[in-house]
Amino acid sequence: MMGGKEEKPAATTPAATTPATATVVSKDVKGRYVRLWQGEPYQNQDAYALNILELEVYDSSGTNIAQGKTATARSQYTGDHQAVMAFDGSLDTKYRSNYDDKEDWLEVDLGSVIDIHKIVIIHPGSEDVYEGVAMKDGLRGYIEIFDDDGKVVKTSQIEETSTDHVYTYNFKERGGGNWRGGQGILKTRADLIAEKQAADAAADEAEQKRLASVAVEKAAADKAAADKALLDEQAANRARFLSEAADRAAEGNRIASEAAEANRIASLKASMVDYETVACEAGTDPRNDPNNKWEWGNDDKIRLYPNPKIADSWVSDWRTNYKTINCTGLVDGGDNVMNAVDGFFESCDDLGGGVIVRHESGKNLGDCRNECASNGNCLGFIHKADVGFCQLHDNRDPYGVDVCGQGYTVHRK
């Protein structure tokens, strides 16, 4: 219910000043406002906070009349820790106050004066150590009940710890009301410490026996491990000898295979004709497309014809007159470009840069090419055959736009 120091968020608005109180033993109790105080000695220490899962108020019929009612508190820690969280019927939410040196309280308004049978408080359990020092057991609060006239009844303060973190005060209990645990058990700090010491002693004795047993087992295991290590070393030596022999054989095979492949490629290069059209055998095309056609270059590299138009600009019978070869190990020299016509390369990539002259119509391809060739500033032109459009540019920079689909062709010097 209480924990270590944290940053202190701003407190919520407190309820009205607490009236004078009177301790009640057992009687018919009627009230409207039920307030849980943090209790001694924690209100004078800034390391503690009120921390409540649920505060339940039951009438004589056994109904929790506090659930869903209006709630207030002296302070609230940051986040979803509002006072109403202690009256929402859920153990997955909680109210939490600030960490400061003022006594916190949590109050619920039942809406009217109602006969109160018992109070049940559920909290998350104590955090028993603060900065390495044992500080507290658990809940140490007390209840005050107010009616509309301001009269107050007050329970005794919780002095012992509930083993199940549930605290119940029954006003109808014979012989006077007392705080009890959820299972009717409250224990003092001395009880808890004694139980823990006994458990620790038993655990220590068991640990000593376990360590002795482990020592015997370890000695036997060490001997077995030494015997096994010797056998393993002998087996490893045999395996290493066999592995090294296999590696030598594999290396010999690799060298022979590489030599055979080098001879194959050398023989292939010797048989090829410069600029011959080739296709690659299945599974050997550098770009994994069995329909590709390549040009065998005079540098022993193959260059792809990326489209029929570029292929046609270099060789007319590339579709039928080609040699199928094993292309494994050959160098992909990139894509072939359009074969130059009168010093111009044709493409579909639009020209950037400035326009020198623009003719909307009346220019055939030859006219446009001749005009650019005769203009010292012209480095490229765009032509559209169906209307005779011709536009000269002062640079050959790529523009990144394909214009062939619109009927244009682009020509660069």
Q: What is the pLDDT of residues 342-362, one digit of tens each?
A: 678 888 888 887 899 999 999
User: In the predicted model, what is the mean pLDDT of residues 263-279?
Assistant: 91
Please say if the pLDDT value at position 153 is more than 70: yes
User: In the predicted model, what is the mean pLDDT of residues 84-96?
Assistant: 94
Q: What is the pLDDT of residue 45?
A: 54
Q: What is the pLDDT of residue 191?
A: 64
CA–CA dist 373, 379 (Å, integer):
8
At CA 128, angle to CA 187 and CA 199, rounded to 5?
A: 60
CA–CA dist 371, 392 (Å, integer):
8
Please say if the pLDDT value at position 5 is more than 50: no
Q: CA neighbours within 13 Å on the CB side: how many for 143?
A: 28
Burial of 342 (0-12, 13-18, 19+ CB in 10 A): exposed
Higher pLDDT, 370 or 39: 370
What residue type is 381 in one-letter code? Answer: F
Nearest partner of 372 among 352, 353, 395, judged by Cα: 395
Please say if the pLDDT value at position 9 is more than 50: no
Backbone angles phi, psi at 358, to 5 degrees: -135, 125
Q: What is the pLDDT of residue 197?
A: 85
Q: What is the pLDDT of residue 20?
A: 34
DSSP 396: -
Of the listed ranges 155-164, 275-284, 357-366, the least confidently predicted one is 155-164
Please say if the pLDDT value at position 410 is more than 50: yes
Higher pLDDT, 395 or 109: 109
Peptide bond into 41 cis (omega under 30): yes
Token code pair at residue 215: 């020592």
Token code pair at residue 382: 């765009």
Please say if the pLDDT value at position 88 is more than 90: yes
Question: 23-50 burial string, b = 16+ CB within 10 Å, else e?
Answer: ebeeeebebbbbbbbbbeebbeeebbbb
Q: What is the pLDDT of residue 11?
A: 38
Please say if the pLDDT value at position 264 is more than 60: yes
Q: What is the pLDDT of residue 163?
A: 72
Please say if the pLDDT value at position 381 is more than 60: yes
Of the listed ranges 52-61, 157-166, 302-311, 317-326, the least confidently predicted one is 157-166
Q: What is the pLDDT of residue 304?
A: 95
CA–CA dist 277, 7 (Å, integer):
79
pLDDT confidence of 189, banded at 50, 70, 90? low
Domain ranges of the chain: 29-187, 189-268, 277-335, 345-412
Please say if the pLDDT value at position 338 is more than 80: no
Please say if the pLDDT value at position 138 is more than 70: no
Q: What is the pLDDT of residue 295?
A: 92
The helix/strand count (H/E) of the chain reads as 3, 27
Q: What is the pLDDT of residue 132?
A: 40
Please say if the pLDDT value at position 8 is more than 80: no
Specify the CATH number of the domain 345-412: 3.50.4
The model's pTM = 0.42
Q: What is the pLDDT of residue 130?
A: 41
Burial of 293 (0-12, 13-18, 19+ CB in 10 A): buried
Please say if the pLDDT value at position 335 is more than 80: yes
Contact 32, 110 (CB under 8 A): yes
CA–CA dist 156, 175 (Å, integer):
14
Please say if the pLDDT value at position 13 is more than 70: no
Q: What is the pLDDT of residue 119?
A: 93
Highest mean pLDDT among 39-43, 135-139, 391-395: 391-395
Q: What is the pLDDT of residue 112?
A: 95
Nearest partner of 106 among 91, 121, 124, 126, judged by Cα: 121
Beta strands in 19-78 (DSSP E): 29-37, 51-52, 54-58, 70-73
Please say if the pLDDT value at position 174 is more than 80: no
Q: What is the pLDDT of residue 399?
A: 82
Higher pLDDT, 100 or 383: 383
Number of Cβ within a 10 Å radius of residue 81: 21
Number of Cβ within a 10 Å radius of residue 243: 11
CA–CA dist 55, 72 (Å, integer):
12
3-class DSSP assignment, residue 21: coil
Q: End-to-end alpha-carbon separation of the chain, Å?
A: 85
**DSSP per-residue string spanning 209-260:** HHHHHHHHHHHHHHHHHHHHHHHHHHHHHHHHHHHHHHHHHHHHHHHHHHHH
Query: Strand 54-58's sheet: what is its strand order?
Result: 54-58, 118-122, 166-170, 179-181
Burial of 7 (0-12, 13-18, 19+ CB in 10 A): exposed
Q: Which residues pair with 31 in a beta bridge?
A: 114
Q: What is the pLDDT of residue 176?
A: 60
DSSP 337: -
Whole-number percent of the chain with pLDDT over 90: 50
Q: Do 29-187 and 345-412 share a fold?
A: no
Contact 102, 75 (CB under 8 A): yes
CA–CA dist 255, 227 (Å, integer):
42
pLDDT confidence of 408, banded at 50, 70, 90? very high
Specify the CATH number of the domain 29-187: 2.60.120
DSSP 405: G
